[in-house]
Structure 1
Amino acid sequence: MATLAGSALAGPDTTVEPRGDAFFARMAIVMALTVVAGFSFQLAMGRSTFASPLRVHIHAVLFMGWVAIFVLQSQFATRGPIALHRKLGWLAVGWMFAMLTAAMVVIVAMARNGTVPFFFTPQHFLIADPFTLLGFMGLTGAAVALRRDTDWHARLHVGGMAVLTGPAFGRLIPMPLLVPYAFEAAGVGSALFLVAGMVRDKRRSGAVHPAWWIGMAVLVGTLVFARVLANSPVGDAIYQAAVAGYPGADIPGLEYPAPPGTPLRTGQ
């Protein structure tokens, strides 16, 4: 994606990726299709349902809305109109914080209610999912800060979006068979987008732009640090504080829940 939220903040002299280069626009479409495919597949298989609490629907609207913003902004940045691209950028900045809030509400509720998917330990899920969001926001925030340098700006935005595709990949691969590293396995799928960007740069200019390596470092770093933290005494304390007084308090944080006898209803 050529630019996103940051372009709205840069003023009238902001430049964007050359309009003849549609790589970032195509990348945005592929990422969006991956997200749609992952969630549609689970719905078609009967493993997810629209019969979920309101908080889940709000979460879904905000995150799918971000996917739509991401695709639109990539198109506006490469094809115009740039004025609309800048205006939508203002919305995107606030939208990220709404996403973080909605996601935290759902994540904590799942841990408290004992409805974490059985291929994750509740404690790891409670910690790893927020770290994924922080990785996304960190890369996106860096893209905003470097909005005048379009080479960095574009690639950091792709990196941020790549981090968000983990749940989509997780719905396309056999997660129960990948325990105890199901979360990391989904992250490998996300990394494919970054690798695609590296290959493109290498073929085009003979060198890989450092923004791709930063995106990869953030992706891998969040996965590794979340795993280490979840298995530490600090992780124990975080989990106990989050679930105290709720059914999740009776569920061991570092044990895998028993597979359900009915189709998994994620997000509750």
Structure 2
Amino acid sequence: MAIAMAFTIVAGFSLQWLMGRSSFTESPARLHVHAMLFMGWVGLYLAQTLLGVGAAGPTSIALHRRLGWIGAGWAIVMVVVGVYVTVGMVRRGAVPFFFTPAYFLFMDLLAVLVFGGLVAAAIVLRRRTAWHSRLMVCAMAVLTGPAIGRMVPVPLVMPWVGLSVFAVVILFPLAGMIADRRRYGTHPAWLAGLATLAAMQLAIELLPRSAAGLALYRAVAAGSPGAAVAPDAYPPPPWATAPRAG
């Protein structure tokens, strides 16, 4: 499962670069920091999984535990940087055209906060290894969302992009639960993780349409170019604003 999720994330972002939709030179420094932190986590998670199953020999578990505290600090930084980058994009009015600005704000904020919450729960339950490993899978599944979104033909599934991505994201914990059930029965960690992910998506769908959600968006965007952008309207696509040749 760890390898499948890592492959999905690398494939999604690599596809963007190969298709010329991403640029290293034109992106601001904060996005480079964001990318290094999140892609670094992918490598750390994959290494921790291999160590956790003893793939590196008798010292694997001891090393897994030592690296785990690095991972805990890493996750905290990811949450802080993730919130900072999301708020910055909203304030600049630089939201992808296939999301309304309010939807994008809550989608990204809730995703990174739920990721952090699941990681925190997994760390608290680290001595209950069955809970720990399964909650970490659910946390990692959240991070596959942006990569999956880069592989989905978004113009064809608007305005259901978020739900379409979520339908793929939950396949990872569902696959783990099904594999478990065949061997051991349904572990409650899967139910807790899936319930958390479902609650996250429900909030993402409802908050941008609520008065409280729109008020929070306006408070975040106040005093910036994003304040002039309608929070519940889709931005124009790039080809609608690009200058015509000649």
Q: Which residue, out of 97, 104, 109, partners 2:88?
A: 109
Structure 1 match to 2:103 = 124
Please list the CA deviations of residues 61-116 of structure 1 after superposition, one character each: whole Å capped at 9, or x if unmatched.
Answer: 00001101100101111124222212211111111111011111211111111111
Residue identity opposite 1:158 in structure 2? V
Please list the CA deviations of residues 32-62 of structure 1 after superposition, one character each: whole Å capped at 9, or x if unmatched.
Answer: 0100000000111111211200000000000
Q: Does 2:16 match 1:42?
A: yes
Structure 1 match to 2:158 = 179
Q: Which residue, out of 54, 61, 67, partners 2:42?
A: 67
Q: Identity over aligned residues, as a percent?
A: 49
Residue identity opposite 1:75 in structure 2? L
Please list the CA deviations of residues 157-212 of structure 1 after superposition, one character each: whole Å capped at 9, or x if unmatched.
Answer: 1011111111111111112222222112111111010111011012112x211211
Work out whether residues 169 and 189 of structure 1, in 8 Å CA contact, stay in contact via their aligned partners in 2: yes
CA distance in 1, matches of 2:116, 2:86: 17
Offset of 1:226 from its aligned partner? 2.0
Q: Does 2:6 match 1:32?
A: yes
Structure 2 match to 1:6 = none
Residue identity opposite 2:192 in structure 1? I
Work out whether residues 124 and 227 of structure 1, in 8 Å CA contact, stay in contact via their aligned partners in 2: yes
Mapping for residues 1-268 of structure 1, pairs under 5 Å? 27-50=1-24, 51-79=26-54, 80=56, 81-205=60-184, 207-261=185-239
RMSD (Å) for aligned C-alpha atoms: 1.6
The total of aligned residue pairs comes to 237
CA distance in 1, matches of 2:198, 2:21: 28
CA distance in 1, matches of 2:38, 2:117: 17
Gap change, CA 1:260 and 1:210, over 3 Å in 2: same
Structure 1 unaligned blocks of 5 or more: 1-26
CA distance in 1, matches of 2:163, 2:22: 22
CA distance in 1, matches of 2:52, 2:100: 41
Offset of 1:142 from its aligned partner? 1.4
Helix, strand or coil: the match of 1:163? Answer: helix
Work out whether residues 47 and 263 of structure 1, in 8 Å CA contact, stay in contact via their aligned partners in 2: no
CA distance in 2, matches of 1:245, 1:49: 28
Structure 2 match to 1:14 = none
Offset of 1:262 from its aligned partner? 8.4
CA distance in 1, matches of 2:189, 2:93: 39
Structure 2 unaligned blocks of 5 or more: none
* Deviating 4+ runs (over 6 angstroms): none
TM-score by length of 2: 0.92
Gap change, CA 1:203 and 1:59, over 3 Å in 2: same
TM-score by length of 1: 0.85
Which is further off, 54-63 or 236-245? 236-245
Gap change, CA 1:132 and 1:263, over 3 Å in 2: farther
Residue identity opposite 1:187 in structure 2? F
* Higher RCO (Cα < 8 Å, 6 or more apart): 1
Work out whether residues 142 and 156 of structure 1, in 8 Å CA contact, stay in contact via their aligned partners in 2: yes
Helix, strand or coil: the match of 2:64? Answer: helix
Structure 2 match to 1:15 = none
Residue identity opposite 1:59 in structure 2? H
Residue identity opposite 1:35 in structure 2? I
